[in-house]
Chains A and B, each alone.
Chain A
Amino acid sequence: MSDRLRFTFGDREIPAEPGQSIGAALIAAGYRSWRTTRQGGAPRGIFCGIGICFDCLVIVNGRPSQRACLTEARHGDQVEPQEGAGRAGLAC
């Protein structure tokens, strides 16, 4: 357990193994969804698990649309659920 790392997800601390993806750690912590769709706000989480479907998007350290299934968890990461495209600031 000593080499376990931790990242925050909202206001919770999530443990992860070295090399584990954020998506796998979230699943292990009991989460099934962490994003809502742009139209309709439906819940989404891991679907393909191999980086193709872009369903498991999450905000990592302020960067939106990161694929949770491919992004390796690092100690101290701040992970947030993503609503829609996660890029509202760019809209014009």
Chain B
Amino acid sequence: MVGAACAFYCADAGLRVTVLERASVAGGTTSAGEGNILVSDKEAGAELDLALLSIRLWRELGDRIGAGQLELQPKGGVVVAQTPEAAAGLAALTARQRALGVEVTDVSQAELPELEPNLTRRACSGAWYPQDMQVQPMLAAAELLRQARAMGASVRTRTEVTGFRRDAGGALAGVDTESGPLTARWVINAAGTWGGEVAALAGAPVPVLPRRGFILVTEPLPVVVRHKVYTADYVASVASSDAGLETSVVVEGTRAGTVLIGASRERVGFDRQVSLTVLRTLAAQAIGLFPFLAETVLLRSYLGFRPYCPDHLPVIGADPRVPGLVHACGHEGAGIGLAAATGRLIAQSLTGAATDLDLTPFRPDRFTPEPARAAAQPGGTA
């Protein structure tokens, strides 16, 4: 998704773009997601700024391409507090977010059923975020690539980057692939969860690591869940650095009728083995939020790997260690939502335009300790 957005905005800015996809379109990180475009789960900071920009850009994309083409649904989000402690935490969070430009309304226990008639009556309070949206990620990635091609970009699937080419001065001059070399002035690393591998191949490592998540898929239903609905502990879970299993339930309907149930987080490398414990926990938590789910049938589950960085911020922008290398990866579980802003910022930085946001918090070399960074620079003193 991030790569597709980069291709779209770069082609739109007049750059000549070639997309190299190792497998098939949306076949890696993108197809394992839910399609979240959220501001509600962001605390104050650089990621919230990025999310607010992205919400605006996704709306523009919907107007330009057609919301139906992307299954872009401006349905809004509802966060539910299930304990008095969670309710107090949620009220404090919404107050901080409101001060930063997030549209959010606190919702009382009595008002919750008006927003979500099938919600448990045992919730304490909630918050309604009208800016939250949902998109069908595979469809959106494919559509943005189609639009990019219409603007002159080319897309090569089943083409893995196997190495990087440098000029005499050490700057990137292109990439090697199994079907031959390609020259380029810039190479954008938008390899999702495999962004760390691509960065290492280019000689400029960034610590992008996998954080596994499962999603349950119900039978197709009529509209039974109107918004993106999740529990207040989801925000804490997203921001947590715990390596163990964490689950905080997220429930949403889709255009196709299936209801998606997330979200688990665990650091188990690229282990693809299905964990029945995780699936059971997610199902139980979802039933706690929406009791009717106990009677519905699960069609399947899927799993994927969020590309996370240790400080939970993505890596966006030119890499000062390797001229010509540009990163757009490490968005953790927010890559679909943050893709639009990332693509736009990359296009702005490559064309020399002023960027809508300061890219300093996302700089690729921020993980290197200061002394090591100085020593790594030519002529630097250790």
| A interface, CB within 8 angstroms of B | 38, 54, 57, 63, 65-66, 84-85, 87-88, 90-92
Q: List 28 A-B contacts (CB under 8 A).
A: A38-B220, A54-B219, A54-B299, A57-B219, A63-B295, A65-B296, A65-B297, A66-B297, A84-B222, A85-B219, A85-B220, A85-B221, A85-B257, A87-B222, A87-B224, A87-B296, A90-B118, A90-B222, A90-B224, A90-B292, A91-B222, A91-B223, A91-B224, A92-B117, A92-B118, A92-B223, A92-B224, A92-B226
Q: Beta-carbon contacts of B293-305 to A below 8 Å, as 1s and 0s?
A: 0011101000000
B200 CB → nearest A CB, Å: 40
State the interface size on chain B (CB cutoff 8 A): 16
User: Which B residues are CB-close (under 8 A) to A54?
Assistant: 219, 297, 299
In the complex formed, the residue of B with least CB distance to A92 is B117
User: Which A residues are CB-close (under 8 A) to B219?
Assistant: 54, 57, 65, 85
User: Which B residues are CB-close (under 8 A) to A38?
Assistant: 220, 257
User: Which B residues are CB-close (under 8 A) to A88?
Assistant: 222
| B interface, CB within 8 angstroms of A | 116-118, 219-224, 226, 257, 292, 295-297, 299
Q: Could you say which of A57, A65, A88 has the most chain B C-beta atoms within 10 Å of its C-beta?
A: A65
A88 CB → nearest B CB, Å: 6
In the complex formed, the residue of A with least CB distance to B224 is A90
In the complex formed, the residue of A with least CB distance to B293 is A90
B244 CB → nearest A CB, Å: 33
Distance, CA A85 to CA B117, complexed state (A): 19
B229 CB → nearest A CB, Å: 12
B123 CB → nearest A CB, Å: 16
